């Protein structure tokens, strides 16, 4: 009697669990679930801007959601560990599915199923019977030759009581299954190869770290750099005209990594062409590639969708930027006090401004645009409130759907503009956007546009300052300074009262002088009413609301505004006389200037800075932003795409058919019984079977 120990018992339960696990991983439902998660993650990565600073997410979504996005890596979906893990599981699942089904498919391709029983042919949907005149063997050979010539693969089998003709065609349908599933594996592998996985592996193995500091790229230490032999990378390289660079920047979710290139790129000239709408038509960069090992040079032109390849690295034209243009600005005192001054700087740099001992600000030069094509149709001849004008709104009107037959367009290049920020000692900053030249908006007088916004996510709101007869801001600035001067205000009031009243009625003149003086004082912000406005038309309105009964406010407002307009016109004339200039004629242009000047003087009180910086001169230096990639995985992706196309076409458009003909001797000749099977039920199968039965068995069925 023998005994069996526990060690002799096979681990059936563990084997069963492993088999079930493999069954789950290789199942279609598991692969589809992974594909669904990948699709959802890809949508999130497309909608949500990737690799943005934390502050941008906080401003847009709030602190809670921003921290959540950072925690689960939604700010860098395609390089997140969970996304790469899902891709790896998808590759594993699909590979197991292929390994599990490939032997069956290969076996199906090799077999003809000639051993099928003759009576089983009666169970097929497509079946037919007939009588052939020749012997079973001769009939089998004849039918086999015909089918072979028609593209079928044929095998004959002799049995004791007859012959079986087995034929098949359309085996590429099953090969399509293998191609389609292999394509998924190849595409995922190519994505993993060209993704962030290899870069992070090199950083982990080589002790590299993401860099979060500032300064020049040349000063970044070696622990933040990857060598030129890196097999996979995708980064950005900015090169200014007349300079060269050999270090690309790879964006990471927690900083940047610098990638050394085996060559340096010198930008000779950047070329940009525009359509009449202002949209760019051509981006091109004339470059010289300097090989760092051999010293050889190569001249090339990089255009959008026309990259240049060198030593396995593709160079794409990504965008363009400012390469360090210099600007000369003139400080314009909008508050009517102080004196203007000139300041020069470089785009990307800053200048410290000091007013007194405590008031210190930083002027940051952020952008220069030489060409600004705007749609001025909406502004031309409109009754839009100038205090609410936003050029972004006029641009939005022509964006979106192109089917806007009733939308008027008046596209015009309004000239250069400069963008800068004023940052106070506490670090708070506002952004300003000022045009260099006055813009004719169809209101009788060109205006200088001074834009301002509190948040970069908002559009600019523009203050319109009218240009004088010489096309400059001097006329408006003289008027603004005169408004702040008590002596000139008094002179304007006296002159207005004398011209507007009868000299024989001094009491009326004195009364009008008092009203005009109060109106100017309110408008200038010298006298405060019960409202909160410090000056401008709002201060006048607050005064009326606080001192005039409701029933009389409309009439009182009309009278006071008429007095104010007359006083301001005389203030304009007094300011010109004070500067030694001739008075302006009372014509339409002067009236248009005054209408715009009154609104501009009123809005100037709400301007958030004591000075505006007017662009006087500039020297533009362009820079190209290149995307440099070394991506051997894209060849794998191309192969996967080709296999996917072949597989889909094979599965959709190739039908697998199998045909059997049983031939047995009978009383009147050879009895033939035929059956056809197909993997897809279509009308074409019915027609094909009818044609084959007529051709092979004759009319007797």
The answer on 97 and 39 residing in a single domain is yes
Instruction: Flag whether 594 is in a domain.
Output: no
The answer on 576 and 513 residing in a single domain is yes
Instruction: Flag whether 615 is in a domain.
Output: no
Instruction: Flag whether 342 is in a domain.
Output: yes
Instruction: Flag whether 361 is in a domain.
Output: yes
Separation CA 283–CA 624 (nearest Å): 9
Instruction: Flag whether 111 is in a domain.
Output: no
Q: How many domains does the chain have?
A: 5
The answer on 663 and 564 residing in a single domain is no
The answer on 227 and 203 residing in a single domain is yes
The answer on 37 and 160 residing in a single domain is no
From the CB of residue 598, how many other CB atoms can be counted at a distance below 10 Å?
Answer: 20
**How confident is the model at residue 383, as a pLDDT?**
36
The answer on 271 and 314 residing in a single domain is yes
Separation CA 242–CA 266 (nearest Å): 7
Q: Which two tokens stand for residue 228?
A: 């030129």
User: Domain holding 683: CATH number?
Assistant: 3.30.160.110
Q: Residue written as tokens 């590979």? A: 95
Do 234 and 627 contact (CB within 8 A), yes or no? yes
Domain range for residue 288?
A: 196-231+233-323+622-630
Instruction: Flag whether 650 is in a domain.
Output: no
Q: How far is CA 257 from CA 71, 188, 210, 236, 323, in A?
A: 21, 25, 5, 11, 22
The answer on 372 and 315 residing in a single domain is no
The answer on 333 and 319 residing in a single domain is no
Where among 468, 493, 515 does a domain terminate? Answer: 468
pLDDT in tens, 604-645: 888 988 889 999 999 999 899 999 999 888 888 899 999 999
Q: How far is CA 508 from CA 435, 503, 564, 570, in A?
A: 46, 9, 17, 18
**How confident is the model at residue 459, as a pLDDT?**
85
Instruction: Flag whether 550 is in a domain.
Output: yes
The answer on 338 and 288 residing in a single domain is no
Q: Which two tokens stand for residue 253?
A: 């979710």
**How confident is the model at residue 697, as a pLDDT?**
87
Closest to 498 measured CA to CA, from 510, 486, 490: 510
**How confident is the model at residue 463, as a pLDDT?**
92
The answer on 211 and 316 residing in a single domain is yes
Residues contacting 442, CB < 8 A, separation 6+? 376, 379, 380, 381, 382
**How confident is the model at residue 381, as a pLDDT?**
41
**How confident is the model at residue 305, as a pLDDT?**
87
The answer on 461 and 376 residing in a single domain is yes
The answer on 227 and 310 residing in a single domain is yes
Instruction: Flag whether 347 is in a domain.
Output: yes
Sort strands 233-240 and 622-630 into parallel, antiparallel or unpaired: antiparallel
Low-confidence ranges of the chain (pLDDT < 50): 1-2, 4, 6, 380-389, 391-392, 394-395, 397-403, 405, 700-701
């Amino acid at each position: 009697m023998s005994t069996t120990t526990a060690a002799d018992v096979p681990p059936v339960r563990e084997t069963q669990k492993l088999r079930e696990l493999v069954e789950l991983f290789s199942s279609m439902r598991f692969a589809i679930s992974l594909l669904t998660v990948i699709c959802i993650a890809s949508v999130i990565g497309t909608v949500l801007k990737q690799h943005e600073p934390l502050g941008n997410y906080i401003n847009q979504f709030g602190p809670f959601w921003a921290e959540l996005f950072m925690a689960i890596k939604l700010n860098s979906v395609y390089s997140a560990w969970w996304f790469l893990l899902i891709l790896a599981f998808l590759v594993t699942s699909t590979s197991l599915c292929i390994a599990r089904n490939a032997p069956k498919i290969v076996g199906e391709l090799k077999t003809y199923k000639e051993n099928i029983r003759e009576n089983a042919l009666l169970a097929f949907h497509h079946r037919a019977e007939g009588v052939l005149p020749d012997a079973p063997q001769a009939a089998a050979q004849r039918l086999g030759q015909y089918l072979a010539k028609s593209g079928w693969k044929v095998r004959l089998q002799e049995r004791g009581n007859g012959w079986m003709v087995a034929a098949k065609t359309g085996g590429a349908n099953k090969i399509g299954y293998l191609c389609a599933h292999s394509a998924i594996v190849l595409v995922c592998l190519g994505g993993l190869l060209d993704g962030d996985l290899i870069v992070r592996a090199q950083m982990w193995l080589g002790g590299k770290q993401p860099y979060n500091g500032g300064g020049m790229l040349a000063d970044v230490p070696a622990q933040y750099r990857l060598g030129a032999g890196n097999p996979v990378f995708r980064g950005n390289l900015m090169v200014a005209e007349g300079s060269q660079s050999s270090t690309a920047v790879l964006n990471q979710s927690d900083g940047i990594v610098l990638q050394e290139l085996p060559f340096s790129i010198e930008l000779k000239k950047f070329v940009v062409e525009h359509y009449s709408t202002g949209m760019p038509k051509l981006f091109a960069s004339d470059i010289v590639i300097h090989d760092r090992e051999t010293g050889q040079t190569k001249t090339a032109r990089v255009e959008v969708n026309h990259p240049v390849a060198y030593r396995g690295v593709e160079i794409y034209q990504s965008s363009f930027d400012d390469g360090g243009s210099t600007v000369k600005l003139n400080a314009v005192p909008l508050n009517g006090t102080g004196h203007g001054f000139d300041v020069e700087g470089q785009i990307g740099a800053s200048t410290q401004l000091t007013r007194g001992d405590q008031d210190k600000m930083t002027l940051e030069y952020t952008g220069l645009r030489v060409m600004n094509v705007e749609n001025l149709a909406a502004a031309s001849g409109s009754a839009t409130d100038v205090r609410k004008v936003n050029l972004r709104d006029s641009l939005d009107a022509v964006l979106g759907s192109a089917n806007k037959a009733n939308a008027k367009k008046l596209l015009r290049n309004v000239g250069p503009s400069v963008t800068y920020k004023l940052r106070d000692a506490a670090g708070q900053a506002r952004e300003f956007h000022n045009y260099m030249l006055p813009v004719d908006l169809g209101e009788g007088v060109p205006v200088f546009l001074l834009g301002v916004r509190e948040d970069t996510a908002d559009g600019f709101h523009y203050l319109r300052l009218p240009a004088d007869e010489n096309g400059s801001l001097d006329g408006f600035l003289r008027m603004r300074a005169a408004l702040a001067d008590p002596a000139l205000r008094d002179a304007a009031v006296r002159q207005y009262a004398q011209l507007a009243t009868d000299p024989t009625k001094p009491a009326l003149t004195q009364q009008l002088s008092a009203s005009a003086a109060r109106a100017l004082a309110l408008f200038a912000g010298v006298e405060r009413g019960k409202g909160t406005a410090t000056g401008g038309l709002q201060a006048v309105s607050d005064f009326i609301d606080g001192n005039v009964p409701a029933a009389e406010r409309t009439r009182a407002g009309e009278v006071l505004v008429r007095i104010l307009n007359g006083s301001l016109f005389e203030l304009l004339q007094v300011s010109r006389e004070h500067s030694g200039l001739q008075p302006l004629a009372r014509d339409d242009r002067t009236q248009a200037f005054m209408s715009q000047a009154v609104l501009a003087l009123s809005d100037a009180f709400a301007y958030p800075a004591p000075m505006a910086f007017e662009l006087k001169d500039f020297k533009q230096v362009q820079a190209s932003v290149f995307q440099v990639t070394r991506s051997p995985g894209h060849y794998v992706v191309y192969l996967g795409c080709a296999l996917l196309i072949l597989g889909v076409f094979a599965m959709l458009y190739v039908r697998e058919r199998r045909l059997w003909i049983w031939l047995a001797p009978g009383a009147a000749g050879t009895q033939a019984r035929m059956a056809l099977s197909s993997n897809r039920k279509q009308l074409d199968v019915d027609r094909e079977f009818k044609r084959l039965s007529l051709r092979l068995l004759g009319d007797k069925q």
